[in-house]
Amino acid sequence: MVKGRPFTCRAISSGKYFSRWRGKVARGYVHSVFHRVVNFYLERDFLSLVAPGLGSAAAFIILDLPENIDFINLGLAPEMPVTLAGAWLWVNDLLVVDCHHICIWQGRKKDELTWRGEGLTWANLAALGQVLSRWGREGGWEERVAATMQQLRSGLLGRERNNLEDAVRNLLGYGPGLTPSGDDFLLGLLAVTDGGADYRVCLESFHRAIAANLELTNEISAFFLRQALSGDYHEYLQEVVYAVINGLPTAVITAARKLLALGATSGTDMARGIYQGFSWAVAGGVS
C-alpha cells in the first residue's frame, strides 16, 4: 500500500443482501471494525466486509484480502463514511473495493435442510457430540442454564408452550462476547428447528418469542437473529445441519470443526444449539 493512497482489493463473492445494490449509488457508515471484519450500514442494509476463511452469509461481502492486511491497521474506524458508486465501494479514503466480478453465494436450499427425528443417523449425532467434547471452547456457556434448557425443550416439543418465551428471554443477551452465548445457541437451534418436522407445531411460537424480545441483546446480535428468522444462516451453520442430516460422521466432524473456529466461543455455542435441537427430537434424547 502506497502512503496517501487507499488500499484497493477485490470482492470475491457476496450474499443476496449486497446483490440488490450492485450498479447503484448508495451511502452509509461504518458500524464496527475488527481485524478481519468490518460491519457497516448501506442505506437500510447492515452488511459486512469479510476476509477469506470466515465463511459466507447473506450479508457478507468476501474480499480477496491478503493475510497480512488488517482492517484496524488500515485505519478503519466506526462512523467513517461508506459510499457505493456503481461497482466501487469506498470506506472513507482508506479502502476501495472493486465489486465488478462478484459471485453471489446462494447457500443451501430449504429442502436440503429438512428432516425428521426418526430419520437421523445416530452415528452422525454422536460425531457432533464428540466434536463438541473434544474441540469445543470453554467460557461461553455455564451449567446454571440447565433449567432454561429444560423449559426450552418442553416448549419446543409442545409439552409446556407457556415456558417457551420465558426460556428465550433468559437466553437472549446472556453470556460474553460480541454476540452473547445465549444468542449464538438460539441461532444454532433456529437452524435446526426450521427444517425439523418434530418442531413444526411450535416453530411459529419460537420465532415470535425471539422477535418480540430482541431488545434484550445488542444491535449486531439482534441483526443476525433477524436474518435467521428470515431463513438466512451462516454457511458453516448450514453445513453442519446438512452433514448431520445427509452426510457421514467424517463430514459432520469436518463441518463442525469449521463452525467451532468462529469467534471466541460463538461457533461452539452455535454448535451446541444444533446438537440440542437434533438430540431433543430423537426418541429418548441424548442430552
pLDDT tens for each residue of the chain, 287 residues long: 445 689 999 999 999 999 888 889 999 999 999 999 999 999 989 999 999 999 999 999 999 999 999 999 999 999 999 999 989 999 999 999 999 999 999 999 999 999 999 999 999 999 999 999 999 987 666 655 777 888 899 889 877 767 899 999 999 999 877 899 999 999 999 999 999 999 999 999 999 999 999 999 999 999 999 999 999 999 999 999 999 999 999 999 999 999 999 988 999 999 999 999 999 998 544 34
Asked if 195 contacts 284 with a C-beta cutoff of 8 angstroms, the reply is no
Q: Mark whether 157 and 221 lie in a shared domain.
A: yes
Closest CA to 282 of 109, 145, 128: 128
Asked if 158 contacts 200 with a C-beta cutoff of 8 angstroms, the reply is no
DSSP β-bridge partners for residue 28: 42, 82
Asked if 124 contacts 244 with a C-beta cutoff of 8 angstroms, the reply is yes
Domain boundary among 70, 104, 138: 104
Q: Mark whether 80 and 119 lie in a shared domain.
A: no
Q: Mark whether 178 and 160 lie in a shared domain.
A: yes
Q: Mark whether 164 and 227 lie in a shared domain.
A: yes
Residue with grid cell 418434530, as numbered in its chain: 198
Q: Model pTM?
A: 0.93
CA distances to 80, 83, 287 from 30, in Å = 5, 10, 41
Query: What residue numbers bound the domain in which 134 lies?
Result: 110-281
Cell of 52: 477469506
Closest CA to 240 of 152, 134, 115, 139: 115
Q: What type of residue is 228?
A: A
